[in-house]
Structure 1
Amino acid sequence: MLGRAPRRDKGFDDQAQAKAPANAPIRPNRRLGDDAVRRMTHAMILLEPIDKLPRAAGAAGFVSRDAEDAIARHLLRPMLFADREIALLAGFDAYGRLAGLESAAGDTTGRCVITPSCWNRLLGQRVATVLMAHNHPSGIARPSDADLRCTQEAGQFLRLLGIDLSDHLIFVESGHFSFRGAGLI
């Protein structure tokens, strides 16, 4: 209704709020209760900045080495070395058959650059689907900001050509991270 003062919930403490500096930690309030303060603090900690990969997505996208499918285990993993980063592009035709496989080795900084000629060779095979994969010699399967950006740009590029980016896998010794499995594609 118009003209009415807003209702105040039990536990609201004007004086405590006015006295506390902006960067002061949350302290238990007799009216609010310790449990409520703990729940609010826990909820605040779970929030992360936009454009960052949520922790839950990292856990959801990880596939252990024992649970890997045949393509990951027999085709991609043997082509990746533990000492340097290598990127692989696997192209499949409309029937799911392997039509082309391209690789790009990391440069002196350890970063892989997929050159236009690499894309041209793969796309010249008339692929319908592309699977991207690379390894992290560090042993950390979590995608970096560069991995996230590269996947997004490759997906947009391939979509313009009518080609589906089926997944981007990041291999480590214990398994791999799947962008599709984490809901990032």
Structure 2
Amino acid sequence: MASPALARLADPFEAVTRQLTSQIADERVEVAVFAYCDGHGRALGFRHARSGLADAVELPVRRIAIDALAFDAAVVMMAHNHPSGEAWPSRADREVTRRIAAALRVLGVRLHDHVIVAGRRRWSFRGAGLL
């Protein structure tokens, strides 16, 4: 159940994004988090992928697709952190986002956003017009 502070937000997708990003903001290794949501932005399930490395995390498209189907999700939201402090997406970040969005689209699932977290700074693929 969402906390009252998250529930008061007008946009449920924003509430889920805040929940995802707050979980990883202070991690010292790269961690990716996924929220599998219904079409109204209500979270149906979550997945964390921890790498153990400060500069990379594996994002297996197949696993993400399997989870989306298992949760019967209409929307997936994802975030990962950059412990280096730089919130700008790398070329690999852009490519994996493109691949995940394309794979989910085939399944009738939309990748709503991919947010990169670096401490208190955030960078959004959706906000940049890339999703």
Change (3 A) 1:76 1:135: same
Equivalent position of 2:69 in the other structure: 123
Change (3 A) 1:90 1:144: same
**Long gaps (5+) in structure 2:** 1-13
Equivalent position of 2:45 in the other structure: 100
TM-score relative to the length of structure 2:
0.79
Matched length:
116
Equivalent position of 2:28 in the other structure: 83
The share of aligned pairs that are identical, in percent, is: 37
Give the Cα–Cα distance (whole angstroms) in 1 for the partners of residues 97 and 129 of structure 2: 13
Letter in 1 for 2:20: L
Give yes or no for the alignment of 1:137 onto 2:87. no
Per-residue CA deviation, residues 143-165 of structure 1 (Å, 9 max, x unaligned), is: 00000000000010001001111
Give the Cα–Cα distance (whole angstroms) in 2 for the partners of residues 141 and 105 of structure 1: 18
Equivalent position of 1:156 in the other structure: 102
Give the Cα–Cα distance (whole angstroms) in 1 for the partners of residues 23 and 118 of structure 2: 13
Q: Which structure: larger Rg?
A: 1
Give the Cα–Cα distance (whole angstroms) in 2 for the partners of residues 167 and 101 of structure 1: 15
Q: Which has the higher strand share?
A: 2
Change (3 A) 1:167 1:173: same
> Helix, strand or coil for the counterpart of 2:20?
helix
RCO higher in structure (CA 8 A, sep ≥6) = 2
Letter in 1 for 2:38: D
Q: CA RMSD in A?
A: 1.8
TM-score relative to the length of structure 1:
0.57
